[in-house]
Structure 1
Amino acid sequence: MSGNSLTLGVLPLGRPTFDVGFAEEMLAAMRADLEALGHRLVGPETLLMDAAATEAAMAEVAAARPDRILILQVTFTDAAMTCRIADRFDQPLAIWAVPEPRLGGRLRLNAFCGLNLASHALGLRHRLFSWRHAAPGTPGLEKLFPETPMVAPLATEASSADPAEGRALIDQLRGRTIARIGRHPEGFDTCGYDADRLAVLTGINVVGFELAELFARAQAAPEADAAALRESAAENLTGLDRVDQAELDRSLRLKLALDGMKRDGGFDAFAIRCWPETFTEYGGAVCGPASMMGEGRVPCACEADVYGAATQLLLQAAADAPVFLVDLVDLDVDDDTGVVWHCGQAPVSMADPDARARATIHTNRKMPLLFEFPLKPGPVTFARLSQARGEQCLVLARGEMLKREMAFTGTSGVVRFDRPAGELLARVIDSGLEHHMALAYGDHVAKLESFAAAAGLPVLHL
């Protein structure tokens, strides 16, 4: 080994709900790249699939007294174990996440989203780290180990827009109510919220429910109503007959339950803990119902993301059109594009008119109802009421949705942002932004900048 060699404590994170075989191939290639640099690697050579395995690996790594800690983000994971690792080790921390090819099939790894969650959680904790989003074999790996990781300042700026139009948006939001159903999953710091802080910012109120309320309402829905909803869904979807019919019925009943809660409580949006319990305890997906609700301008945020639901209400008011809460799952510097995606919950009016929406199942949980289609081409606006690093700001971006083949199953689109993909990638991770952004068609940035001026919010332009 060279005189600059390091002892690296390597902790490869993964989850069994993704493509384990492909993940193992990526892990072997990542380790080969690290070994080629001449560093000594300590830690497991296999994927750490759960908390117990990760805790044991952390003890093994600690005993070796490494110079650096390297998390290999091989598949998506929440940020819970990343934070445990960061708390356990004082050594400089780095994270390497791998992209995956856009082949039109399932998200086999979804590692970028894991990196995104980790960056937000570490940003809230003011923990410095270096990072890399690149395939094995890509030059520049040594840059993952700088002498001193540097914190990038949040690139926010005060909005100089006229606040008049923004005050009108605030008036539209004031008094709106979000029903939060269930609590956000562990390790999803991106979905945390303070109801009082949100109310001061937007005038939006939050009412909490347990998932049991949603499930009970769904189970009690009349058979005739479920049958009528299936008939209505068939007007926009092909393939309803090709999914499990009992699971489809349970899924559609979640839409009826949400309708009932809206009617009884006067709610304007929902933030729903969509997994795993809708699958493991109830037995049907809420993704398709969320698509239908969004088309009806009652936006739904998955993973109980209250600020995500609030952002949808804001963007919907600015655009006067349906909105879609997306994950940014890929940024390709060479192609200068990104992919925005969610399991299958985009409003059906966002479908490419040349590709009929079809009914499908959740790629990991294997249950319906999800919508599947590529997003239609056209100008788009992205927004997020952000709490990155504990500071509130409004994140904005413009882009052009391209007419491309579907990158991944579910509802997804390939977008060329106004800012080059490499620069946008750095802004998202260095700023520790949330993994959900709201999308609407059209250019609504000026209205949203006016909202920021009226609300006294700094703006971060992606």
Structure 2
Amino acid sequence: MKQFIKLGVLCLARKTFDHRAALDIYQKRKEELKAIADVEWVICEPLVIEVEDAEVAANQLDSSQVDGVIIISGTFHLGHLALTIDKIVAKPILLWAFNELPYDGGKIRLNAVCGLNLNASNLYKSGNDTYHTIIGDSVDHDWIDAIRIKAAVEHARLGLLGHHAHGFFNLGIDELRLFKDLGILIDQYPLAAIWDRKVSDTTINQCLEDIKEQFDVSTLSKDTLEKVARLTGSMKDFVDEHKLTGLAIRCWPEFAERYGISPCAAMSVLQSQGYILGCEGDVEGTLTMIAAKAIGAQTPFLADLSQVNVEENYALMWHCGVAPCNLWDGSCNCSLDTYFAGGKGVTADFVLKAGPINCFRMDSARGKTRVYMAAGEALHMEKLLRGTYAKVRFEKHIEQALNQVIDTGVAHHVVMVYGEFRKPFDIYSKIMGFETIK
């Protein structure tokens, strides 16, 4: 399921062109729009021809609190119309022009593309850079997904447990800048809110069953395994109780020292169940996972660009053992281990599945918000080390890909997902006025 949104749609026309044909096309397109999942449509039924029509439509959309507006150029039309919609509704706009109809011996029938050009020019010259355009018979689903990202981020309830990890200054955030740029406030909680939480025996036993079903736990003591199960239940109950969309967690050094284990294994289990959990207190990384999930990316997770092989052109996207366990390659031994923090760093250990991947990060630096994006292929590899990892060959040569991250100061965590989702992120960046690094 994608992020649910509400979109408005209206069709502009002028009676000096074939407005009846435009209306027929509009009726067909409306039915196609209604078939799109996870969207509530606010449809302005009559053609919008005069300024008064635009005012009525705009007030309908504004009172309905839509997340975005699709302005269709059914034919050429008055330039006032789209500007009126923009002034009253003030939401991201998709300008959509129908394809020109075959000539019937007279003048051009729709001239819709020219109408779109008029609207784009007016919006641009009035200072609106957030519009997007499409010409054709079908709506732009990537724009719709970009609106899903915007809505998901703005409506997210994001928690921060503790702070960013010790010394990870590049993961620090300016909370009021985040509110200004993204419309989100952060709920902060102490680490003890998880450590001291009471968990029922029923919950612990269910978590134990889930863990044993997924992992080889033969190297763990009974006490350590119970701590993993208890922590899994505690984190799950905490997120559910506070109705958090995502939770960024300061997972070290205090967890191992004071609770007795690190939370990596528990996070792997919960992320495979759809929970959004960011390690090392990475708020922007967690926000990026929320954004990716909003457009259908399944179980996004944080990874480090950890090992680079320039000669063979690949990087190891690794982390200490927190990737969602449903992304296991299905062939290596999927296990829990205690290889760091003096035996208290309980982590998931497995190779991630092969397949096409994207990497993203919403990242702030020098007063700007940037969106980093890259694409590649996770390749098959043997299980050679601890943690969760994938051998990735990027579209760009790895030396170029690495230098791009380093030269622009992108934080050392990126969100990795399976599939192709760059276009919605690109459109979202334009809507928000963010810089893109790609």
Alignment TM-score, normalising by the size of structure 2: 0.65
Provide, for residues 390-432 of structure 1, a one-character-per-residue CA deviation record: whole Å limited to 9, x for no partner: 4210000001000112353110111000110111121121211
Residue of structure 2 in register with 1:282 after alignment: 259
1:388, 1:434 within 8 Å by CA — same for their partners in 2? no
Q: Quote the Cα distance in structure 1 between the aligned partners of 2:306 and 2:132.
A: 31
1:194 to 174, 198, 213: 174
Aligned pair 1:210/2:197, yes or no?
Answer: no
Aligned residues: 301
Give 3-state SS (helix, strand or coil) of 2:423's partner. Answer: helix
1:359, 1:368 within 8 Å by CA — same for their partners in 2? no
Q: 1:455/1:406 Cα in 2 relative to 1: closer, same or farther (>3 Å)? A: farther
1:49-448 pair list within 5 angstroms = 163-217=143-197, 220-238=198-216, 240-367=217-344, 369-448=346-425
Q: 1:452/1:199 Cα in 2 relative to 1: closer, same or farther (>3 Å)? A: same
2:357, 2:420 within 8 Å by CA — same for their partners in 1? yes
Q: 1:371/1:328 Cα in 2 relative to 1: closer, same or farther (>3 Å)? A: same
1:237, 1:357 within 8 Å by CA — same for their partners in 2? yes
Q: Quote the Cα distance in structure 2 between the aligned partners of 1:407 and 1:400.
A: 19
Q: 1:307/1:214 Cα in 2 relative to 1: closer, same or farther (>3 Å)? A: same
Q: 1:283/1:335 Cα in 2 relative to 1: closer, same or farther (>3 Å)? A: same
Q: Quote the Cα distance in structure 2 between the aligned partners of 1:435 and 1:159.
A: 29
Residue identity opposite 2:164 in structure 1: H
The runs of at least 4 aligned residues of structure 1 exceeding 6 Å deviation read 158-161
Q: Quote the Cα distance in structure 2 between the aligned partners of 1:339 and 1:407.
A: 12
2:166, 2:253 within 8 Å by CA — same for their partners in 1? no
Provide, for residues 295-332 of structure 1, a one-character-per-residue CA deviation record: whole Å limited to 9, x for no partner: 12211111111111101111121234111100111111
Provide, for residues 240-268 of structure 1, a one-character-per-residue CA deviation record: whole Å limited to 9, x for no partner: 23212212212221221112212221001
Give 3-state SS (helix, strand or coil) of 2:424's partner. Answer: helix
Provide, for residues 112-154 of structure 1, a one-character-per-residue CA deviation record: whole Å limited to 9, x for no partner: xxxxxxxxxxxxxxxxxxxxxxxxxxxxxxxxxxxxxxxxxxx
Q: Quote the Cα distance in structure 2 between the aligned partners of 1:368 and 1:247.
A: 10
Q: Quote the Cα distance in structure 2 between the aligned partners of 1:289 and 1:201.
A: 32
How far did 1:196 drift? Answer: 2.4
1:176, 1:203 within 8 Å by CA — same for their partners in 2? no
1:164, 1:454 within 8 Å by CA — same for their partners in 2? no
Q: Please report the RMSD computed on the Cα atoms of aligned residues, expressed in angstroms.
A: 1.9
Q: 1:201/1:298 Cα in 2 relative to 1: closer, same or farther (>3 Å)? A: farther
Bigger radius of gyration: 2
Q: 1:194/1:267 Cα in 2 relative to 1: closer, same or farther (>3 Å)? A: same
Q: Quote the Cα distance in structure 2 between the aligned partners of 1:412 and 1:161.
A: 37
Provide, for residues 209-262 of structure 1, a one-character-per-residue CA deviation record: whole Å limited to 9, x for no partner: 111111001xx2123321221112111112x23212212212221221112212
Residue identity opposite 1:234 in structure 2: K
How far did 1:368 drift? Answer: 5.4
Q: Percent identity among equivalent residues? A: 26
How far did 1:161 drift? Answer: 6.3
1:226, 1:253 within 8 Å by CA — same for their partners in 2? yes
2:148, 2:295 within 8 Å by CA — same for their partners in 1? no
Structure 2, unpaired ranges of 5+: 1-128, 134-142
Q: 1:387/1:408 Cα in 2 relative to 1: closer, same or farther (>3 Å)? A: farther
Q: 1:312/1:174 Cα in 2 relative to 1: closer, same or farther (>3 Å)? A: same
Q: Quote the Cα distance in structure 2 between the aligned partners of 1:295 and 1:283.
A: 23
Q: 1:320/1:423 Cα in 2 relative to 1: closer, same or farther (>3 Å)? A: closer
Give 3-state SS (helix, strand or coil) of 2:359's partner. Answer: strand
Q: 1:227/1:430 Cα in 2 relative to 1: closer, same or farther (>3 Å)? A: same
Q: Quote the Cα distance in structure 2 between the aligned partners of 1:412 and 1:396.
A: 19
Q: Quote the Cα distance in structure 2 between the aligned partners of 1:406 and 1:324.
A: 19
Residue of structure 1 in register with 2:16 after alignment: none
1:339, 1:407 within 8 Å by CA — same for their partners in 2? no
Question: RCO (CA 8 Å, sep 6+): is it higher in 1 or 2?
Answer: 1
Q: Quote the Cα distance in structure 2 between the aligned partners of 1:449 and 1:421.
A: 22
1:38-49 pair list within 5 angstroms = none
Provide, for residues 357-395 of structure 1, a one-character-per-residue CA deviation record: whole Å limited to 9, x for no partner: 212124344225321111111000000011134421000
Structure 1, unpaired ranges of 5+: 1-157
Give 3-state SS (helix, strand or coil) of 1:355's partner. Answer: coil
1:291, 1:371 within 8 Å by CA — same for their partners in 2? yes
Give 3-state SS (helix, strand or coil) of 1:353's partner. Answer: coil
Provide, for residues 75-105 of structure 1, a one-character-per-residue CA deviation record: whole Å limited to 9, x for no partner: xxxxxxxxxxxxxxxxxxxxxxxxxxxxxxx
Alignment TM-score, normalising by the size of structure 1: 0.62
